[in-house]
Structure formats: structure tokens, C-alpha cells
């Protein structure tokens, strides 16, 4: 006789969701050490655009916390867990170790990205002997490296004159990796590599075409190439007649 099969209930597998963290700072306990920090705490400066346009470096992360609200944070998958023939899954921490007479001394590095989904984004790299200090260091550096992104509607297929994409094509290069960003029509979405899409989403870009070349397995080079491409959006000089035609807005867009 064949054994009676019991009914087995298979529970659905939940998809991995990367949570974004709302950032906040205890401003009351903050004692500024720089002239810019004192002006920000005394409410003499209330606009982040004035700080970025002046070219003064941000040396205290509390400055970004005070001038930008609704910031969100995420960690990029730059590491890889151990697996047979290098087949381990991606993870947010990259582990390296140094061999000494006392034994192996491991270190952990991670890459953090922050943004308000409205034209401001920051990238930071942190490395420490433990995972928590590395994450905090990366988050702190991301606040210091905040920058504004020029957005617009540069796709010839769209012409909606809203800042949902980028105004023109840009390209960044780091080592053998090149990242090319092109404006896309409304409704396209973020057609880009996974980690590139994370950064663009927090920057407030909704539609884009992207192409990466080179050794893209090295995510550090991919992120650095993307950063150089985003910097070109603001450094490129644009004629006045094209600003309105392409709906170019730098930083927070306000109302479209």
C-alpha cells in the first residue's frame, strides 16, 4: 500500500525589502565648530542652495540635517558573501582582511546614499573594523557630500516640460567602468543597473535610460562613475533659451 500523502501548506516567500531610514539630528545638543555651522544654527542661513552655490565645504553633518528635511538613507550592495566559485550573494558590507603575525585583522566597508527625492543626493564611503561604525561613517560622509542635481525633460519623445528626467545625456568614467545616462520619456521608469537606480531614485529622477560598460562587478567603480556623471549635470553650461525649453531645474523643483 502506498503511504497517504499529507497536505503540506507552503507559505509564500516574502521579497527582500530595503528600508529607507528617515534622518534626524539632535540640534539642541549640537555645538557648531565652524562659522558656517554657527550661521546655520542661528538661522542666518536657511537655504541649502546658498551653501552649495557659495562653494564652501560642509564640514558638519548637522548642517545638512537642519537645511534639508525628509532625508532618506539607503546602503548600496558593494560586497559579496562567500560562495562556491565566487557565487555568493550581494550584501551591503565589503569585507577585507590583513594577515599579520597575530592573525587576520578584518575590516568592513560600506557605501551610503542619502536624498530627499527632490533634487538633492549625497554619497559616502565608510570603512571600519566593525559594521556599525562603518555604516555610521558612511552616513556621516554622505551628509558632507550632499549635492544638487539638475533635472528636466530632455527626451525628444516627450516634451512635457516637467523635471522628471535629466536635461541632456552625460557620462562618467572610473577605471574601466563607464556609466552613461540619457533622458527618457515620461513613464519609462529607471532603466538602469540596480545600485545606479537606487541613487537616481533618491535624487528625484523618475525616468532615465542608462548604459554601463567595463568591469561592472566592481560596484565601487560603478558608483564613482555615476557620481562623476551627476556632477556634469550641474557643471555643464547651458544657454538661457534652453533652460525653459528643457524645463531645467536644479535642486528642489517646487511645483511643476
Residue 26: what pLDDT? 67
- The candidate with the shortest Cα–Cα distance to 78, out of 87, 91, 88, 89, is 91
Mark which of 148, 173, 188 sits at the end of a domain.
148
What pTM, to 2 d.p., does this model score? 0.83
144 and 24 both lie in a single domain: yes
Q: What is the pLDDT of residues 120-176, one digit of tens each?
A: 999 999 999 999 999 999 999 999 999 999 998 888 888 788 889 999 999 999 999
**Banded pLDDT at 256 (limits 50, 70, 90):** very low
3-state secondary structure of 123: strand
User: Are both 158 and 139 inside the same structural domain?
Assistant: no
Q: What is the CA radius of gyration of the chain?
A: 22
Domain extent, residue 97, equals 18-148
Same domain, 134 and 168: no
According to DSSP, the residues that pair with 150 across neighbouring strands are 250
pLDDT per position as a tens digit, 59-94: 999 999 999 988 999 999 998 877 665 567 888 899
213: CATH: 3.30.230.10
Same domain? 22 vs 130? yes
Domain boundary among 148, 173, 196: 148
pLDDT tens-digit readout, 8-50: 333 333 334 444 444 444 677 889 999 999 999 999 999 999 9
Is 185 exposed, middle or buried (CB count within 10 Å of its CB: 0-12, 13-18, 19+)? middle
Whether 171 is covered by a domain: the verdict is yes
Is residue 143 located within the same domain as residue 153?
A: no
| Total number of domains in the chain | 2
Closest by alpha carbon to 178, among 130, 144, 226?
226
Contact (Cβ atoms closer than 8 angstroms) between residue 156 and residue 184: no
Per-residue pLDDT averaged across 96-102, rounded? 88
Amino acid at each position: 500500500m502506498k503511504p497517504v500523502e499529507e497536505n503540506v501548506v507552503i507559505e509564500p516567500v516574502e521579497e527582500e525589502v530595503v528600508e529607507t531610514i528617515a534622518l534626524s539630528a539632535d540640534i539642541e545638543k549640537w555645538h557648531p565648530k565652524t562659522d558656517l555651522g554657527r550661521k546655520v544654527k542661528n538661522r542666518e542661513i536657511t537655504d541649502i542652495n546658498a551653501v552649495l552655490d557659495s562653494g564652501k565645504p560642509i564640514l558638519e553633518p548637522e548642517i545638512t540635517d537642519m537645511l534639508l528635511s525628509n532625508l532618506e538613507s539607503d546602503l548600496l550592495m558593494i560586497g559579496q558573501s562567500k560562495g562556491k566559485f565566487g557565487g555568493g550573494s550581494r550584501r551591503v558590507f565589503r569585507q577585507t582582511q590583513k594577515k599579520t603575525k597575530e592573525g587576520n585583522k578584518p575590516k568592513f566597508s560600506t557605501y551610503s546614499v542619502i536624498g530627499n527625492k527632490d533634487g538633492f543626493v549625497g554619497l559616502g564611503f565608510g570603512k571600519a573594523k566593525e559594521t556599525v561604525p562603518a555604516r555610521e561613517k558612511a552616513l556621516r560622509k554622505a551628509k558632507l557630500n550632499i549635492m544638487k542635481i539638475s533635472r528636466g525633460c530632455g527626451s525628444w519623445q516627450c516634451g512635457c516640460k516637467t523635471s522628471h528626467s535629466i536635461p541632456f545625456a552625460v557620462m562618467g568614467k572610473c577605471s574601466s567602468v563607464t556609466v552613461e545616462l540619457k533622458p527618457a520619456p515620461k513613464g519609462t521608469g529607471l532603466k538602469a543597473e540596480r545600485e545606479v537606480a537606487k541613487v537616481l531614485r533618491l535624487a528625484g529622477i523618475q525616468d532615465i535610460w542608462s548604459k554601463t560598460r567595463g568591469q561592472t562587478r566592481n560596484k565601487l567603480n560603478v558608483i564613482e562613475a555615476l557620481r562623476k556623471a551627476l556632477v556634469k549635470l550641474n557643471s555643464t553650461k547651458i544657454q538661457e533659451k534652453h533652460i525653459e525649453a528643457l524645463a531645467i531645474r536644479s535642486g528642489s523643483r517646487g511645483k511643476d
